[in-house]
Amino acid sequence: MPRALFTGFVFLSVCSALAAEPFRAAEFDQKVLPMVERYCLGCHDAATAEGDFDLESFLTPAAMLANRKPWEKVLKQLKAGAMPPDGKKRPAVAERESAIAWLERALVHVDPSKPVPPGRVTARRLNRTEYNYTIRDLFGVSLKLADEFAGDDVGYGFDNIGDVLSISPLRMEQYLNAAEQLTAILLGKTDAPPYDEFSEGVFFQFNKKPRNPSDRGWEVVPEGQLWLDFELPVPGEYEIKLYAWGVEKPEEKDRSNNERWLEKDYPLDPKARPVVEATLLCDDQLIGHVPVQPGNGTTASRQIYTLRFTAQAGVHTIRVHHRFPREFTAEQIAAHLEKPLLAPRLGVRRVALRGPLQFGAAKLAPAHEALLKTRPASGLSESAAAGNILRAIGDRAFRRPLKADELRDLLRFVETRRSAGDDFERAVELAVQTMLVSPKFLFRLDNVELPPGKDDIAPLGDYALASRLSYFLTASMPDDTLLDLAAKGTLHEPQTLAAQVERLLADPRGAAFTEAFFGQWLGLRKVPEVTMDRGTFKTFSTELKDDLRRETTMFVESIVRENRPALELLTADYSFLNGRLAAFYGIAGVDRKAEFQRVSLQGTPRQGVLTHGSLLMLTSYPNRTSPTRRGAWILETILGEEPPPPPPNVPELEQTRAAAPNLSLREQLVQHRVNPTCISCHRTMDAIGFGLENFDGIGKWRDADQGRPIDASGDLPGGKAFKSPQELIGILARRDEDFVRHLSSKLLTFALGRGVEYYDRVALDEIVRQTKPDGFRFRDLVREVAISRPFRFTQTQNSDSKP
Amino acid sequence: MNPNLAFSTRRHFLRGVGITLSLPWLESMGGILHAADAEKEPRRLLLVCLPLGIFRDALIPKQTGIGYEATEYLSALQDFRDQFTVISGLEHPGVGGGHASQPRIFTGLPSAERNRRSLDQHVAAVLGQHTRFDTLTLSAGANDFSWTDSGSMVPAEKNVGDAFAKLFAEEGATNKTKVLREIGRGKSILDFVLDEASDLRPRLSKRDQDKLEEYFESVRATEKRLVKSEEWMHTPKPQVGVKAPAPFAPDEIITNMRNVCDLTYLAFKTDSTRVITFGYFRQDTVAVPGVKVGYHNLSHHGQDEGNIAQLKRVERAFFDELKTLLTNLKNAKEGDSNLLARTTIVVTSNLGSGSSHSNKDLPVLLAGGRFQHGQHLALAPGAVPLSNLYLSVLHQLGMDDKSFGASTGTLKGLELA
């Protein structure tokens, strides 16, 4: 078969360029039909339907426009040059390209005489992240109850897609259990305090190196500080226990702390004079000072100094600071600081936290406060008290005001439980549990609020919009600001939405967006699971993997935070590295012990995420790079041009290798794709992947592989040749509109929780158009998604059938 | 640092179903008081999947029919040669996508359709009536094989110790009245949400309603389980006189498999359930002597001899454990028969070749039950759906389904004994 037929994967997307030309459906009969009849229907007619694919039923322009999915498959196969398969008659290049060009426009054609459909999002169950964050914001707790639930279903690359998120009887039980655990904790009636954790002193971070470390602890020197993060699940009063000892006259290499010595116990004198003190802090809040008596690592198991403090739920840094005894004069302290290593030391063995023992003076979320404290009293009937509690919770849990009949039903339920013998608190608690397992809590029912009417398209209700925006950007329920704007009915106004986008992305809760979106779009969530062969990659370690993931995470965070042009994802000449990573990348000028910081990549071969070790590793095999996987990943993730799946019965590369073991990887791959069906896709995939061959399987730069110099050159269909990773990235970056359009479609998918449909092309065009003048800045893209028509409107049940 | 939620929850009985009034196991087993006697001949089903494939040359014999020469794995099961059939050439039509085919192995539905209704969940509706648990989905590393009628995955009990506790552990002196009162409360909550959420239905689109229907189905199923557990509260949990499995490291795939097999045996023997599903899998390195590469990577052996040798060690360990399970079942008498004769066992994989990720020509080992065993039934690849075997299994279990999954009939060449 002549080589000229295989022009390879069509690398230039034509759709944007030609979108302006008028579209004539009738051209189908000249541009597509003859080719399909001649080359496709032999196998894909209704009777044969090879591969379960019947094209015969869709052979008119109208049938094509009404059934675009099968034609999208046709387009993909044509673009890839994979169909008709090897050995069958194939259309001439011109014929094929003309059909491709026409189909690319036809398949995104939207009838201009009708309003553009905004699509309709299927009721979305809260995924695990959303459940945890919603409970957190509803009750002011940090419990992560959903971590116990089964994993979420994934569709279109994301775990928040209404059509695929399912619910099972088991999950229902888990919801019941979670609701029960939660109300028990909120009411403070668990058998034991919900939090009871400790950490050994030696796991703490420090400012001055503690001395004489052993498995029993270590000694903090003057001005020394230890700190560690603890995540407290509930607001309230916690008990903190410090297991500590004092050393009045320290010695270096004190043997009293080492294993052998410890077998003998050390008599504790309860009346001994304290020789040092410890200052305990929660974040920067003083918990208290405790005088510490002399002892050692062993006696510290009995030298327990207990204090109490009040804290909100969430992550807190617990700090233990060295302090001289209170009776020391300024002169004494100054003298000790002259020779700090001889000054009294604070030995720290362990820090334990338990609680809450009571809610005390902790500030509670309104829903929690109501549940815990509202009780019938004189002037407040039982039903009024129950009503107050249920409203305080329901108005938030359902993310809109509780309706009168809903409240009435709940109150009736409380009455029923009362007459079944439950006391007031128990009856209300059960009513709260019913809310927490109700579909009105567990699902986002965007369309329920719509006024019944004849219109096919309606604006989303403001409360539904508040939820949409809030779950998009914070993976959680709307906060009071959003609910207030919804109550006022102004949230849907574009400038209001735009301001809220800015506010939520700046909010700490906005980190949930970055984690979920980039974690799934780029695949960062998968990095922790990557295992590489340590024999091949000697420098690979879990620490390296964590560092690499941190790099990309900080990088994308900065793109969002600083509203950088989206294209910098590919081209940025900076990244975020710590000392270890800088050394790994071979970048000079960063101290080996340095923390993560912004580092210029100018003058290095690295730029943008394609050269981040995290993603290079993710697209490699455990023992070698995979140009094919890397190329496929870039086509799919960066450009949205997913190659079709490989045809069945393709020989493995390893078989090729076994046949010709002396060839380089590049030569092997060339051998591997002698099959013309394969070469069409592989030519592009492999070429892109080879452009990154200078980066080994874990992302380290190399000039040679197994003694052979790396050849990172390639050429892409359309005569685009490159010689290095930088040149390849340059070629990709010139397709900025394609990249931004694809990124926008990913954002839209994630924001809406549904797959992107052909008619969304109109919204995507608008997003691209609006953000182009200012260089496609990332937060501008997010804003445009939030004010786009699919985000703010919905099709009503009148137009229920899938458009 | 995660909060350690170390408090008891009152509705844990939902998972554990009830408390035990400790009858000595021997007494209850010796007298065979369990539900098996309610029917003359209880029938059971065990489904096992190895989602990384089974190295073909070590399993599928070169010869067909009765006189085949045992392959490496089959020779491990030599004692049972006339109690199993090895079947080659079956596949699920329209199921592709490499690993993506995994959840469809026991449903047989094509990739283009929504996955639902796995064989185990389907038979459980009937076989589960007489036992404390309708089905058990266990896991020797993999667990997405069980699917409800409405298309929700039934996640496995990942921790074999938890599963053991669920089946056999007493819950101390838990007050039965208290638990029953909790069941009453649970039922009232579910009643309320069913009733209260029904006002949503007329306002939702068809697709929303389908989602809601899934929700309501889950609520009703949970309610049914509450009712069932209420009933089982009056029956003591069986005492097996065996210690709960000790914790083990995640890479100890053999220990995991052994524990799951032991639990399978005990669950069948005590008639705690008649339907069990599990998968044998691990992504990473496995603690199998002589194996250094991760199991998944090994499955992509690329015909490399070193890789294949290691892969075979991992798979051979599976067959060794399977042999122990078959032996235990065979030795367990029930009436005038034994558990093996009354348990249909399907061992298969969603990959015909782990190395190329092919979903064609799937390996099948069918053991136990009342089939005429002892042969290698070799079918022309691509001609017969695996679902035909499932339909044969259904009929053998006493169900009268006309079809299952993508079946075109029962499996020809496989006869009842």
Please write the tens of the pLDDT for every residue from A562-575.
Answer: 999 999 999 999 99
Identify the band that residue A55 occupies on the pLDDT scale cut at 50, 70 and 90. Answer: confident
Nearest to B218 among A167, A184, A197 (CB): A167
Q: State residue B36's pLDDT score.
A: 40
Which range (A231-240, B121-130, B171-180, B260-269) has the least confidence? B171-180
- With vertex at residue A667, the alpha carbon angle to CA A662 and CA A669, rounded to the nearest 5 degrees, is 115
Chain A neighbors of B96, CB-CB under 8 A = 645
Contact B215 A162 (CB under 8 A): no
The first and second tokens of residue A683, run together, are 């030519």
Three-state SS at A157: coil
CA distance B180 to chain A (A): 13
The first and second tokens of residue A114, run together, are 């009708």
Q: What is the pLDDT of residues A348-357, one digit of tens each?
A: 999 999 999 9
Whether residue B32 is predicted with pLDDT greater than 60 in this model: the reply is no
Which range (A369-373, A768-772, B8-12) has the least confidence? B8-12
Contact A533 B293 (CB under 8 A): yes
Which range (A95-99, A202-206, B107-111) has the least confidence? A95-99
Token match 């919009």: residue?
A: A465
- Polymer length of chain A: 803
Contact B9 A184 (CB under 8 A): yes
Q: Where are the domains of chain A?
A: 3-106, 195-358
Q: Could you tell me which residue, B144 or B364, shows the higher pLDDT? A: B364
Q: Give the chain A residue whose CA is nearest to the CA of B153.
A: A168
Q: State residue A750's pLDDT score.
A: 98
Which range (A123-137, A146-160, A334-348, B43-57) has the least confidence? A146-160
Chain B neighbors of A533, CB-CB under 8 A = 293, 297
The first and second tokens of residue A608, run together, are 């943008």
Whether residue B20 is predicted with pLDDT greater than 50 in this model: the reply is no
Identify the band that residue A258 occupies on the pLDDT scale cut at 50, 70 and 90. Answer: low
Which helix (H) or strand (E) segment is A217 a member of? strand A217-220
Whether residue A16 is predicted with pLDDT greater than 70 in this model: the reply is no
Classify each residue of A721-736 as buried b or exposed e, where b means 16 or more C-beta atoms within 10 Å of its C-beta: ebeebbbbbebbbebb
State mean pLDDT over A81-107.
Answer: 81
Chain A neighbors of B99, CB-CB under 8 A = none
% of chain A exceeding 70 in pLDDT: 90
Q: State residue B254's pLDDT score.
A: 94
CA distance A579 to chain B (A): 26
Of B101, B180, B215, B303, which to mutate for an interface test with A (greatest number of A Cβ within 10 Å)? B215
Q: Could you tell me which residue, A488 or B35, shows the higher pLDDT? A: A488
Of B114, B189, B285, which to mutate for an interface test with A (greatest number of A Cβ within 10 Å)? B189
Q: State residue A266's pLDDT score.
A: 67
Chain B neighbors of A417, CB-CB under 8 A = 185, 188
% of chain B exceeding 70 in pLDDT: 88
Token match 């009268």: residue?
A: B400
% of chain A exceeding 90 in pLDDT: 63
Nearest to B1 among A231, A622, A800 (CB): A231
Chain A neighbors of B3, CB-CB under 8 A = 142-144, 194-195, 197, 231-233
Chain A neighbors of B12, CB-CB under 8 A = 177
Q: State residue A12's pLDDT score.
A: 41
Q: State residue B321's pLDDT score.
A: 96
Q: What is the pLDDT of residues A634-666, one digit of tens each?
A: 989 998 887 777 665 555 565 556 666 667 777
Nearest to A434 among B14, B189, B205 (CB): B189
Contact B152 A171 (CB under 8 A): yes
Q: What is the pLDDT of residues A290-337, one digit of tens each?
A: 999 998 888 888 899 999 999 999 999 999 999 999 999 999 999 999
Q: What is the pLDDT of residues A418-469, one digit of tens each?
A: 999 999 999 999 999 999 999 999 999 987 777 666 678 889 999 999 999 9
Whether residue B264 is predicted with pLDDT greater than 70 in this model: the reply is yes
Contact A657 B356 (CB under 8 A): no
Q: State residue A534's pLDDT score.
A: 87
In order of A410, A444, B181, the CA distances from A431 in angstroms are 6, 20, 16
State mean pLDDT over A165-187.
Answer: 91
State mean pLDDT over B223-245.
Answer: 85
Q: Would you call A318 exposed, middle or buried from its count of C-beta atoms within 10 A (0-12, 13-18, 19+)?
A: buried
Q: Give the chain A residue whose CA is nearest to the CA of B6.
A: A194
Whether residue B257 is predicted with pLDDT greater than 90 in this model: the reply is yes
Of A121, A152, A180, A232, which to mutate for an interface test with B (greatest number of B Cβ within 10 Å)? A180
CATH code, A195-358:
2.60.120.260
pTM check: above 0.80: no
| Contacts with B399 (C-beta within 8 Å, 6 or more apart), sequence order | B123, B126
Of A200, A437, A799, which to mutate for an interface test with B (greatest number of B Cβ within 10 Å)? A437
CATH architecture of B39-170+238-396: 3-Layer(aba) Sandwich (3.40)
Whether residue B21 is predicted with pLDDT greater than 70 in this model: the reply is no
Highest mean predicted confidence (pLDDT) among A64-73, A172-181, B118-127, B314-323: B314-323
Q: State residue A803's pLDDT score.
A: 39
SS3 labels along chain B? CCCCCCCCCHHHHHHHCCCCCCCCHHHHHHCCCCHHHHCCCCCEEEEEECCCCCCHHHHCCCCCECCCCCCHHHHHCHHHHHHEEEEEEEECCCCCCHHHHHHHCCCCCCCCCCCCCCHHHHHHHHHHHHCCCCCEECCEEECCCCECCCCCECCCCCCHHHHHHHHHCCCCCCCHHHHHHHHHHHHHHHHHHHHHHHHHHHHCCHHHHHHHHHHHHHHHHHHHHHHHHHHHCCCCCCCCCCCCCCCCCCCCHHHHHHHHHHHHHHHHHCCCCCEEEEEECCCCCCCCCCCCCCHHHHHCCCCCHHHHHHHHHHHHHHHHHHHHHHHHHHHCEECCEECHHHEEEEEECCCCECCCCECCCEEEEEEECCECCCCEEECCCCCCEHHHHHHHHHHHCCCCCCCCCCCCCCCCCCCEC
Chain center to CA of A645: 27
The first and second tokens of residue B8, run together, are 């008891």
The first and second tokens of residue A239, run together, are 């008990």
Q: State residue A707's pLDDT score.
A: 85
Q: State residue A1's pLDDT score.
A: 35
Q: Is the peptide bond prior to A401 cis by the omega test (within 30 degrees of 0)?
A: no
Q: Where are the domains of chain B?
A: 9-24+172-236, 39-170+238-396
Q: What is the pLDDT of residues A487-530, one digit of tens each?
A: 999 999 999 999 999 999 999 999 999 999 999 999 999 999 88
The total of other beta-carbon atoms located within 10 Å of residue A360's CB is: 14
Nearest to A173 among B14, B294, B356 (CB): B14
Identify the band that residue B23 occupies on the pLDDT scale cut at 50, 70 and 90. Answer: very low
Nearest to A800 among B6, B205, B283 (CB): B205
Three-state SS at A182: helix
Contact B358 A649 (CB under 8 A): yes
Q: State residue A264's pLDDT score.
A: 54
CA distance B102 to chain A (A): 14
Q: State residue B55's pLDDT score.
A: 95
Contact A413 B188 (CB under 8 A): yes
Q: Mean pLDDT score of chain A, rounded to an integer?
A: 88
Q: What is the pLDDT of residues A733-787, one digit of tens each?
A: 998 999 999 999 999 999 999 999 989 989 999 999 999 999 999 999 999 999 9
Which range (A60-64, A205-209, A448-452, A482-486) has the least confidence? A448-452
Chain B neighbors of A229, CB-CB under 8 A = 1
Q: Mean pLDDT score of chain B, rounded to an integer?
A: 85
The sign of the CA dihedral A199, A202, A203, A205 is positive
ipTM, interface predicted TM-score of the complex:
0.83
Chain B neighbors of A433, CB-CB under 8 A = 189
Contact A52 B110 (CB under 8 A): yes
Q: What share of chain A is helix, strand, coil (3-state, %, to 5)?
A: 45, 15, 40
Contact A172 B192 (CB under 8 A): no
State mean pLDDT over A529-550.
Answer: 91
Contact A231 B206 (CB under 8 A): no
CA distance A340 to chain B (A): 33
State mean pLDDT over B266-295.
Answer: 92
CA distance A120 to chain B (A): 9
Residue A533 zone, left/alpha/beta (φ > 0; ψ -120 to 50; rest) = beta
Interface A–B counts its CB contacts (< 8 A) at 202
Nearest alpha carbon to residue A460 among A473, A443, A479, A445: A445
Whether residue A799 is predicted with pLDDT greater than 80 in this model: the reply is no
- Calpha distance A414→B320 (Å, rounded): 58
* Residue pair B362/B90 in contact by the 8 Å Cβ criterion: yes
